[in-house]
Amino acid sequence: MKECDKFREECGVFGVFCRESERDVSALVYYGLFALQHRGQESAGIAALKNGVIECRKGMGLVGDVFRGGEAREMRGPAAVGHVRYSTAGASSLENAQPFVSRFKLGSIAAVHNGTLTNAEVVRELLEDAGIGFTSSSDSEVIVNLIAKNYKKGLEKALTDTIQSIKGSYALIVLTDNAMVGARDPNGIRPLCLGKISDGWVLSSESCAVDAIGGEFVRDVEPGEMVIVSNEQVLSFTFSEKTRRASCAFEYVYFARPDSIIDGVDVYGARARAGEILARERPVDADLVVGVPDSGVPAAIGYGRAADVRFGTGIVKSKYVGRTFIAPDQNARERAAAVKYNALKSEVKGQRVVLIDDSIVRGTTSRRLVSVLKEAGAAEVHIRICSPPVKFPCFFGIDTPHRKDLISNSSGGINELCQSLGADSLAFLSVEGLLESLDGKEGYCLGCFIGEYPIPVRVEAAWGDLYDIQQFEKEAGYKKPV
Ligand code: 5GP
Ligand code: MG
């Protein structure tokens, strides 16, 4: 079992449907997946429609490793979907890699999913009782098998029935032998958008991947909406009456690429605003603002602007230590951080530095960077974090570390935390400040910050004995569903 040292990045989904049957869309999906690589680096896969048959290739590793030597190009056809995934288990995860393909009497379908179903076990049991076999332990396979089981009712009915049976978070793309369908859960927790290319349509986790293939962003898929793209037309259905948008706020803080626009809010802008607000909420006398590359940089630019303190590159990051750098223990994690970051001595020497990062999970990054900056001669290091403390687990697609390892839960409070990081001061953005940076007061899931969730969650099922459930319920105000 791999050490869970961070939130696990979730997944990225991408699909293209073209009318022109000679078009090489697998290559487009391949490029789209590159643009979504930050959302998952452990496995990648593409399923393409070729002469009416769905063909699928997937493997462990980065998109470029799985589709070496232009393999994706060989899968020519008018429609294809792809997936990048960050799995939670080690060697056995190939079976959990996506797309999932199901071939049955009436046709075949492929599906890619980002999110977590909260009732997957129940639905899975019902399907198994009905004699349907599973090849993986993934909740996403439940979706494919449900659609396949309902398929004789027709595609639309099969999809709406399926969607009405599943609960949790999902940004979903389904490829059939004559259509591509996108659906987003009634809270829209995970992002999904619609784009256009000259002769077809695109569905993507993030708009940056639509840009990457030269497409045009059209709009976000709405919470509780299903979009069906076929040769004739693009249809939209609202499958859920009770929709209340609760987009994941952590997408804006860390997960998404800064050049994406999600639910009308541009990620870079939100990060820069968060920095500005933090400068207002938590000012400090300083000479230099430094952002932790890469995701802390937009906020640092905003902080510097609002505080009228010079923004500079005080830290250099190795491009080749990936987000997946596997670190089995705390020692190794610290070494990993040392390989990953170094200070620019000429910039930071003698300076009072404000060090801006997007979030603190275990505190490894901040601790390392404070010591790197001080060794390089920084006079003071003040940590400013552009999100509220992460204190609670996520049940909707992000696999959080054990609660006890979220450093913001440590008992000594913020002063002790500041000391343990070796910093001269430490402060976080407020929840109100985060919402302000997102241009709104509501419409976001803040579960990992405040412990309130848009959908009831079964703590026991999701966390087993990892976790002191009663303590969590007390602190989170979470009530057991009856
Ligand atoms: P820490 O070092 O405190 O454990 O984690 C915080 C750092 O990790 C920040 O620099 C942040 O950008 C990054 N981070 C936050 N969430 C995630 C995640 O889900 N996965 C990975 N790999 N890094 C993350
Ligand atoms: Mg970072």
| pLDDT, tens only, 6-57 | 565 579 999 999 987 778 899 999 999 999 999 988 899 999 998 889 999 9
For a ligand 1 pocket test, name from 4, 6, 341 the mutation site with the most ligand atoms within 8 angstroms of its C-beta. Answer: 6
**Residue 469 vs residue 173, higher pLDDT:** 173
Asked if residue 395 is part of any domain, the answer here is yes
pLDDT band for position 235 (cuts 50, 70, 90): very high
Residues 171 and 290 occupy one common structural domain: no
Given this model, what pLDDT does residue 329 score? Answer: 64
445 is catalytic: no
Asked if residue 459 is part of any domain, the answer here is no
Quick check: CB of 358 below 6 Å from ligand 1?
Answer: yes
Mean local confidence (pLDDT), 248-271: 96
Residues 185 and 299 occupy one common structural domain: no
Phi, psi of 223, deg, nearest 5: -55, 135
Quick check: CB of 250 below 6 Å from ligand 1?
Answer: no
Q: pLDDT per residue over 450-468, tens digit each?
A: 988 898 775 544 443 333 3
Residues 275 and 391 occupy one common structural domain: yes
**CA–CA distance, 179 with 157 (Å, rounded to integer):** 14
Residues 135 and 272 occupy one common structural domain: no
Asked if residue 451 is part of any domain, the answer here is no
| CA distances, 480 to each of 116, 229, 395, 445 (Å) | 19, 40, 15, 19
| CA distances, 330 to each of 326, 347, 362, 374 (Å) | 11, 29, 10, 21
- Say how many domains are in the chain: 2
Q: pLDDT per residue over 277-334, tens digit each?
A: 999 999 999 999 999 999 999 999 999 999 999 999 999 999 887 654 445 566 776 6
The atom number, within ligand 1, closest to the CA of 296 reads: 12
Mean local confidence (pLDDT), 228-242: 89
For ligand 1, atom 13, which residue shows the shortest CA distance? 359
Residues 226 and 294 occupy one common structural domain: no
**Residue 272 vs residue 462, higher pLDDT:** 272
Q: Which of 33-47, 115-129, 427-441 has the lowest mean pLDDT?
A: 115-129
Q: How much of the chain exceeds pLDDT 70, in percent?
A: 88
**CA–CA distance, 470 with 474 (Å, rounded to integer):** 6
Q: What angle do CA 84, 89, 395 make, to 5 degrees?
A: 75
Asked if residue 252 is part of any domain, the answer here is no
**CA–CA distance, 80 with 21 (Å, rounded to integer):** 12
Instruction: Give residues with Cβ within 8 angstroms of 308, minimum separation 6.
Output: none
Domain extent at residue 44: 8-245
Instruction: Assign residue 305 the CATH number of its domain.
Output: 3.40.50.2020
Residues 233 and 311 occupy one common structural domain: no
- The mean predicted confidence, pLDDT, of the chain is 87
pTM of full prediction above 0.95: no
Given this model, what pLDDT does residue 471 score? Answer: 45
Residues 281 and 219 occupy one common structural domain: no
Q: Return the percent helix, strand and coil in the chain, to nearest 5.
A: 35, 25, 40
Q: pLDDT per residue over 56-111, tens digit each?
A: 999 998 999 999 867 777 788 899 999 999 754 334 478 889 999 998 888 899 99
